[in-house]
């Protein structure tokens, strides 16, 4: 059984909760390796199509790296190859992951959220990459993902100052998809997941891979590029099931293959 997180399955949906509320869900190497295994299993399980990640309690999604643990270890720590929560350096998962941010998302915690495909935030959520204020830098993807998520000047305003951004400002800037009351957060994330699950899973994965891999390329090059998930979609049974269901005026029965 996981020690530093909890997991629950609901049909095709996996909900993962970082469970270190006593340190605002800050993560240390044992937690990161545990979460890496959770998301390895999610990516490999053909019965799971969408995941939600959130934090235990109402104070924090994740305060990022557990600096006290780092200090006690003298800086000699095992580095997880898949990054914070097994997500920030994971580039081979075509399945959607939703961040349900239930409070503070600082440093590595914000980088976890940025590594997800959607960010749903509670009204009390706060985002920041404060590493420069303690002589560090957002090395788990924050320096690169944030400028890809919002206009460069807005991203630099956060990166160079380490300032805190509210959920509402995050929505206005464009890195948050929806802001809801704290009590409605998980329900809202589940609602987004349900909408994704209405779609053909191979189509969703083809869309995700194409959007990310095509980003930054000239348009013609991006459109002509070869994407493994697009090939899988075209060869899959669901590629025929969708038009057939439409013609027969019935809901599609997706198989994910």
Which residues are known to be catalytic?
Answer: 111, 131
Sign of torsion over alpha carbons 27, 212, 40, 79: negative
How do 5-10 and 13-18 pair as beta strands?
Answer: antiparallel
Residues 6+ apart with CB under 8 A from 129: 106, 107, 110, 111, 138, 142, 143, 146, 158, 159, 162
Sort residue 11 into left (φ over 0), alpha (ψ -120 to 50) or beta: left
Closest CA to 52 of 61, 44, 60, 65: 61
Question: CB–CB of 83/104 below 8 Å?
Answer: no
Judging by beta carbons within 10 Å of its beta carbon (0-12, 13-18, 19+), is residue 72 exposed, middle or buried?
Answer: exposed
């Amino acid at each position: 059984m996981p020690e530093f997180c909890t997991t629950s399955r609901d049909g095709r949906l996996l909900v993962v909760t970082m469970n270190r509320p006593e340190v605002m869900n800050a993560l240390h190497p044992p937690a990161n390796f545990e979460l890496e295994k959770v998301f390895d299993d999610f990516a490999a399980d053909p019965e799971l199509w969408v995941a939600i990640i959130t934090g235990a309690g109402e104070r924090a999604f994740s305060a990022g790296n557990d600096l006290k643990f780092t200090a006690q270890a003298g800086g000699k720590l095992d580095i997880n190859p898949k990054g914070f929560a097994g997500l920030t350096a994971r580039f081979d998962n075509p399945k959607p992951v939703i961040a349900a941010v239930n409070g503070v998302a600082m440093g590595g915690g914000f980088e976890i959220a940025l590594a997800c495909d959607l960010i749903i935030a509670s009204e009390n959520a706060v985002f920041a990459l404060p590493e420069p204020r303690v002589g560090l830098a957002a090395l788990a993807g924050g320096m690169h993902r944030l400028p890809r998520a919002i206009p460069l000047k807005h991203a630099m305003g956060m990166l160079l100052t380490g300032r805190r951004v509210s959920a509402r400002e995050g929505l206005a800037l464009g890195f948050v998809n929806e802001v809801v009351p704290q009590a409605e957060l998980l329900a809202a994330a589940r609602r987004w997941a349900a909408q994704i699950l209405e779609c053909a899973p191979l189509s969703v994965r083809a869309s995700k891979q194409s959007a990310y891999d095509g980003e930054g390329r000239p348009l013609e090059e991006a459109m002509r590029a070869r994407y493994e998930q697009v090939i899988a979609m075209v060869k899959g049974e669901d590629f025929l099931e969708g038009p057939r269901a439409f013609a027969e005026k019935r809901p599609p029965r997706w198989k994910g293959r």
